[in-house]
Amino acid sequence: MEAALEDRLTALMRDGVVIKVGGSLNGDTPTLIADIKRLQDAQVPVTVVHGGGKAITKGLEDRGIESVFRDGVRVTTKEMIGVVENVLCTIGESMVTHLTSYGIRAVHVKGNRNVLRSVPDAGLGHVGRILKVDIGRIKAPAWNGNVTVLTPVGFDHASGRPLNVNADTAAGAVAMTMRSWAIFLTDVPGVMVEGRIMENLCTSEIARLIAAGVINGGMIPKIQEAVKIAQAGIPVRIVDGREPYGVIKGLFFGTGGTSIQSDTAQEGY
């Protein structure tokens, strides 16, 4: 057991971990803070990609703007993008302040300009589809002892405008580009099928579950990114962010939530 844990720690110190934090969790749950602190103390490079769905919805409602979602992604109009960008950047800055107050060294990186180079996703308005991730801006803080907190705002080079990038999509692109292990935190116990938590899901099962409506709403972009990561041969797990030590248990012991595995994978995590 000790040898296996040492092997995982060595792999994590080499590859790093990308943690996607949903807006519903807000990045300030005590267990998440404790887990991030443990990873930083263990010299594991950490990149946190945060969402902000509820705060964005409220910000838009305050301006009398209704939100429309397609497969869990917010359709973003021209009048909405400024609100989305401001809310997300505020969350990112607040998260860095919060982490710092717990003794965690952290740097805020806004995903614009060349960081998350994107193009508008057809039919979704000012929503970005990522073309390229600038590894240097994201990786440098994390591999130099800081937690990188990434705000998922893309940049359209053709128009010079910011684009709303789904946080799950951003986390997936970053994890695959850096080949870092990935944890998607959510506010449910894992992927549920007929009232039962699926401890492991193979990529071949997921399209069927989406088509059947078993996987729906905001879980769709999360699970689709997890599939891409798993198919790239990178460990990925969807974890209940409210669960004590959920990140640590998922990374080191392979327990909690749902592990997404490629059908050709020999071992999950």
pLDDT in tens, 49-70: 999 988 999 999 999 999 999 8
pLDDT of residue 141: 94
pLDDT of residue 26: 55
pLDDT of residue 266: 43
pLDDT of residue 190: 87
pLDDT of residue 264: 66
pTM: 0.92
Q: In this structure, are strands 17-21 and 46-50 parallel, antiparallel, or unpaired?
A: parallel
Q: How far apart are CA 99 and CA 117, in angstroms?
A: 27
Regions in the chain scoring below 50 on pLDDT: 266-269
User: Using the 8-state DSSP alphabet, how is residue 253 labeled?
Assistant: I
**What's the fold here for domain 2-261?**
Carbamate kinase (3.40.1160)
Identify the CA nearest to 256 among candidates 187, 189, 182, 185. 189
Please compute, for residue 183, the number of CA atoms within 13 A of its CA located in the half-sphere on the CB side.
28
pLDDT of residue 267: 45
